[in-house]
Chain A
Amino acid sequence: MAKQQPRVDAVIVGLGWTGSIMGMELTDAGLNVLALERGADRSNADFAYPKAADELQYGIRHTMMQKPKQSAVTIRRNLDERALPQRKLGAFLPGDGVGGAGAHWTGVLIRPTPTDLQLKSFADQAFEPGVLQDDMQIQDFGVTWDELEPHFTFFENVCGQSGTTGNLRGETQEGGDPFEGPRSEPYPLPALQDTQNTEMFDKAARQLGYHPFPNPSANVSRAWTNPYGMQLGPCNYCGFCSRYGCVNYSKASPQTCILNALKQRSNFAYRTHANVTRVELAADGKTATGVTYIDENGEEVFQPADMVILASYALNNVRLMLNSGIGQMYDPVSRTGTVGRNYAYQIGGGIHMYFDDIEFNPFATAGATGRMFNDFSPGNFDSASHGFIGGAKMHSSQASGTPIKTPLPKDTPSWGQGYKDALQKYYGHHMKLSMTGSVMSYRTNMLDLDPTWKDPYGMPLLRMTFDWKENELKLSRFMRDRLREIADVLKPDHMEESFQLNGDHFKVTSYVSTHNVGGAVMGTDPSNSALNRYLQSWDVHNVFVPGGNAFPQNFQANPTDLIAALTYWSAKKIKEDYLKNPGPLMSRA
């Protein structure tokens, strides 16, 4: 018999960005809120200068990341392959502990475009029937730019977003992204300073007629005090962002932007090392009664709650829904069920360029320094004529100069004196041109429960079925050709390419992206979405699931801004309507 804790108004599973935001919003509404975090507690002091500047511990050994021991994913590329557990992290690096991935992210804070939110409507209008793959399952988000805009603006103020405005209330601004959706307010802070590669990329991109703008950044360019009274120090370009906690408190994170304020509230509490294994449902299956978790002593505990917010990582949110029987599990053959449907990812590629005589000083940087351009986002170019839908963020970023990860040309020896010579020759003389591409959703890219492997508590592992599809490989080739044109302008002494091309399959062994999305997507039609447009489960009305899981397919930029805006959007509806009259916020009809 599980131990039982006193009831709370709302229990939040996971204390990263979405959990922290929901914590603020629901305590604002006067609810008694408890967050359960399965990892360790972490505060700013844990990263204090210079502790976090340790490549081995954080960059290589992944001290801030989830432990596969606790939550591995099994992976296969198609329905016929036997999925195998990902025994150590590789392709993606979900966070662990208080702050979640929000503590170790790079800090690129960018909005989607209005088109990205309504991609299906765009496709119906821009593509002839039959042009796109028939197993593609793209959908609109069910929420519009105008509905989300205030929430983007607020979260960007929470983070001290630094950058250059491109479209202020419909008017194009010099130096910003002319393709961005209209902003109601300019960026809170000016852009970060430019590194050497930034300057070179900017010049070459302009020469080719593109519209580069500073990477929108949550590494703040100036000291910032946010609407919660939380503070960020000015970025000092220490070069330890992605995979690290910030030594200088300059990167927006739940720690720097929310948690001290949240912890001051007497109607908020949190427990760490509390691993939620399932959401408990009432006998009729229509409402949740709370959650069951394993505490740090290995004891099972029932936490009753009137509302359950699944605010864990996207993959784990889906797994919790599946393990709890919330909604129907997706079946790719009959195309029925919605939980696990439309898992999507991001596709990357780039050109490594080496310049013998240019000093890049790659250690003097921030995760989000650099330039990007959106000339190849959906709607901004004619991708139909190339036979694919989607787009890419084209950029040059220099996220870090840590030496274990020094990129070296493939034709240099990997050991012996030749390796040492290459290190000396190439360290600090490298620059990368990158594309980050959208990934559409497909019938057989999906999540379900693994039939074989279990976690330490006996719960089935999540099984991911994912591979690159022809549409994305075409996109990748097209973007490669555009990046080649930029490289031709820059004339490196040596260069090599790394792209997914025809015949390539998804590999889990090297890093791709931690932008795993979908699986419990939002929408307006319960037959193809697990959540309604307020991130409420269609099936269990007191369960809300904010996170990347809600994206019906992925777009070409970084997801944090959209995830946060959706969370505020959901919280607003909860506060304004749901609490007054708990029940489904949209009818299934």
Chain B
Amino acid sequence: MTARYLIPLLAGSTLLSSMPAFADTDDIVKRGAYLARAGDCVACHSSPQGKPFAGGLGIESPFGTIYSTNITPDKENGIGSYTEEQFAAALREGKRADGANLYPAMPYPSYANLTDEDVHALYAYFMQGVEPVASQPPKTSLGFPFNQRWGISAWNWLFADAEPFTPQASHDELTERGRYLVEGLGHCGSCHTPRGIAQQEKALGGDSEAYLAGANLNGWWAPSLRAGDGDGQGIESWDTQAIVDYLETGRNVHATVGGEMTSVIAHSTSYLSERDLMGIAQYLKSLPANPTSDDAASTEAREQSTDETAAHLTAAKNLSKGERLYIDNCAACHFNAGEGADRVFPQLDGNSLTNAENPAGLIHTMLAGARPPATSKIPAQLPMPGFSWRLSDEEIASLATFVRGAWSNDAGPVTAEQVAEVRDSLGDTPLSRAPDPNGSLNHEDGGQ
């Protein structure tokens, strides 16, 4: 059994902080807990078998392993001896209590926008609402030059910007609340904003076209979140409610979450209030979509090519290998029109993962399957099976090539070599185990 932290949701939190500065301590701690959810602190500062916030999550890298730190209030091992001022400096400026720089894996350039009230609430939560854990995570020891923390100062001077949040007059209150969360605690840009030459996010706020314009993360395409008001593909076709649904439950009428975002929804956004989520949605819709070459195709033309693919698959005559593979492996849930099913099976027609320039995320999903998060609103988990046991590299390549060009999709072909590369990187994939012809059901998790 893992320890569990059941953090009650705050109903209807309002813009910035409507809490009086000296509100009841319990309320401040609760508010801090909520903000820690919004910042998804637990994701990085806990290890698989460890206690929440005790750190020790290791990331292997060619330069050595970097370990997250213990941020429980333990005085020896954690941040129990931090003053609120030191805590604020760590959050906003990436400064340890001893003045050393944190690696910018800690998204302090985003957290820089935190208001004093929110820093105060987070501090109250980490000091009073979190169980101290007396364990020291392994020390990070990187080889030269990555062990030179002083170099980060220059990086910080160039790219980080410790400006507290200032509301923009052009936005309404709720949209501003959304901007505060997206640019700040949500640190959405960490994944969704393209990076520059020094691995810095090219923009930290919505005034730049590069902000949240989509980025490649080790092969997975973290799509553009610039939702705009157009009728393009991906998030551009989502309305605010669809964005709220997605962040709250990992699924909406168009899509189901896959890849790294699954964890973000399970442990962060599904805990946010509907009002905050609506603010986020409104803010994303306020960001003009970047023009893409796809705009040339009219809605009618897209609908026509969708219908043509569906009709061809249904007639099932003169099928290409990719088409036949689609019918034998995918159509059961995604159907001939690639439309999936409302909130249950994602739509492939126009899907951002399917159409990403780099197909690695799509290939990964086909091979290993995917499991949506169980959230309090939607506890259902209808897993997509992986097909690594059933399909060869060539077959996955044919299939991926087909779906990337089917319906209104218009992305490039996939090669068997690309599939082989992703397959080699997979560990054990429980959702893609072959059936046991002689056996009982090969169940993965036990009771209790």
Contacts and interface: CB of A to CB of B under 8 A. Distances in A.
A and B touch in their complex, CB below 8 angstroms: yes
Interface of A: 37, 40-51, 54, 57, 63-64, 97-98, 222-223, 225, 228-234, 236, 238, 245, 247-249, 256, 260-261, 263-264, 266, 269-272
B388 to A, nearest CB: 13
Nearest to A64: B441
Contacts of A47: 441
A46 B383 contact: no
A51 B385 contact: yes
Given A46-B442, A51-B385, A223-B344, A260 B448 contact: no
A229 B343 contact: no
A587 to B, nearest CB: 39
Given A57-B437, A247-B332, A229 B383 contact: no
B379 A230 contact: yes
**3 smallest A-B Cβ distances: which pairs?**
A48-B385, A231-B380, A223-B341
A43 B380 contact: no
B444 interface: yes
Interface residues of B, number: 38
Contacts of A48: 369, 383-385, 431
Instruction: Name the prevailing secondary structure of the B interface residues.
Output: loop
Contacts of A41: 443, 445-447
Interface in B333-384: 333, 335, 341-345, 369, 371, 374, 376-384
Contacts of B442: 46
A248 B332 contact: yes
A50 B440 CA distance: 16
B317 interface: no
A260 B379 contact: yes
Contact of B382 (A233, A263, A269): A233
5 contacts: A44-B383, A54-B435, A225-B343, A248-B333, A263-B379
Contacts of B345: 223, 233
Contacts of B198: none
A166 to B, nearest CB: 27
Contacts of A54: 435, 437
Contact of B380 (A42, A57, A260): A260
B380 A229 contact: yes
Contact of A49 (B332, B377, B430, B443): B332
Given A49-B333, A50-B332, A230 B380 contact: yes
Contacts of A271: 447-448
Interface string B381-412: 11111000000000000000000000000000
B155 to A, nearest CB: 42
Nearest to A233: B344
A521 to B, nearest CB: 32
A248 B381 CA distance: 12
Contact of A42 (B335, B344, B443): B443
Contact of B378 (A42, A231, A263): A231
Given A229-B380, A260-B374, A264-B376, A49 B446 contact: no
Given A43-B445, A51-B385, 19 more contacts: A40-B440, A40-B441, A43-B381, A48-B384, A48-B431, A49-B385, A54-B437, A230-B380, A231-B378, A233-B333, A234-B344, A236-B333, A236-B335, A248-B332, A260-B380, A261-B379, A264-B379, A269-B447, A269-B448
A271 B448 CA distance: 6
Contacts of A234: 341, 344
Contact of A63 (B333, B380, B381, B440): B440
A230 B376 CA distance: 10
B197 to A, nearest CB: 43
Contacts of B437: 54, 57
A91 to B, nearest CB: 24
Contacts of B249: 229
B9 to A, nearest CB: 14
B268 to A, nearest CB: 17
B23 interface: no
B287 to A, nearest CB: 29
Nearest to A274: B447
B271 to A, nearest CB: 13
Given A223-B342, A266-B6, A44 B332 contact: no
Given A54-B435, A223-B341, A270-B448, A46 B441 contact: yes
Contacts of B342: 222-223
Contacts of A45: 371, 383, 385, 430-431, 444
Contacts of B448: 269-271
Contacts of A238: 332
Of B4, B342, B442, most buried by chain A (CB within 10 Å of CB) is: B342
Contacts of A57: 435, 437
Nearest to B384: A48
A233 B379 contact: no
A45 B368 CA distance: 13
A266 B6 CA distance: 10
Contacts of A269: 447-448
Interface in B1-35: 4, 6
Contacts of B384: 48
Given A229-B380, A230-B380, A37 B447 contact: yes
Contacts of B430: 45
B337 to A, nearest CB: 12
A49 B446 CA distance: 21
A249 B380 CA distance: 10
B172 to A, nearest CB: 31
Contacts of A42: 441, 443
Contacts of B447: 37, 41, 98, 269-272
Nearest to A269: B448
Contacts of B374: 260, 264
A231 B443 contact: no
Given A222-B342, A236-B332, A231 B377 contact: no
Nearest to A58: B441
Given A223-B342, A229-B377, A234-B341, A44 B382 contact: yes
Contacts of B444: 43, 45
A449 B381 CA distance: 42
B380 A256 contact: yes
A231 B344 contact: yes
Interface string B420-444: 0000000000110001010011111
Given A57-B437, A232-B344, A46 B332 contact: no
